Amino acid sequence: MNPQRLAVKIFSVDPDEPVDLDPFTPLFHHFIQEKSLPGLLFDVADYAHVPQGPGIILIGHDVDYGIDQVDGRAGLLVVRKRFGRAAIEEVLRDTLQKALSAVAAIAADGRSPIAFDTDAAELLVLDRLTAPNDDESFAAAAGRVAPVFDVLYGGATIERVGAEDARRPLGLRARANQPGSDPATLLARLEAA
């Protein structure tokens, strides 16, 4: 299984509470100017007017970052694209590193009071031809990504999300068996692996 697009979402601490998106347009422009995040970043798209929509997106060549409120659950969504034939494990590790770097950069900037629950991450396989939303694809994906999440969290529980609707992308949620790690610790674990 080598999909062409992956997304990782790290939810806010209280994902059911709406997030003030106003600070993110200038913040994301600042990130472009200062090259604060990994990737070639070049534009910001504002979808704040869409209820429970994609929010504010920082668009890049090989990665997009966004404050997403799809399904009424706020969080940071990082979408990886244009990674060739790299294995899903490799792309997941890279995407998690980018997501944790963004969480740290948003917190360090201080323009938004949003806080993220880094003890869990949701993986969406955005390539339905390679990974349809079915039991077989879930089993295959879980087997491949579990070692990455185990390194990240020092042990993780993985469950399927979105199984009730086959039209949705294949989704997996990993939760730390021992919660409480900050983004810097999680990044160090990924880099050491």
pLDDT in the model for residue 40: 95
Examine the pLDDT at 4 and tell me if it is beyond 90: no
Give me the percent of the chain exceeding a pLDDT of 70: 100
Give yes or no for a contact between 102 and 38, defined as CB atoms under 8 angstroms apart.
no
Give yes or no for a contact between 47 and 56, defined as CB atoms under 8 angstroms apart.
yes
pLDDT in the model for residue 60: 97
Tell me: the pLDDT tens digits for 93-126? 999 999 999 999 999 999 999 999 999 999 999 9
- Phi first, then psi: give them for residue 165, nearest 5 degrees: -135, 105
Residue 153: pLDDT band (50, 70, 90) is: very high
Give yes or no for a contact between 39 and 82, defined as CB atoms under 8 angstroms apart.
no
Tell me: the pLDDT tens digits for 43-81? 999 999 999 999 999 999 999 999 999 989 999 999 999
Query: Average pLDDT, whole number, for the chain?
Result: 95
Residue boundaries of the structural domains of the chain: 5-192
pLDDT in the model for residue 46: 97
Give the bridge partners for 47, in sequence order.
55
Q: Residue 38 and residue 14: Cα distance in Å, rounded?
A: 26
Examine the pLDDT at 1 and tell me if it is beyond 80: no
Mean pLDDT of 175-193: 93
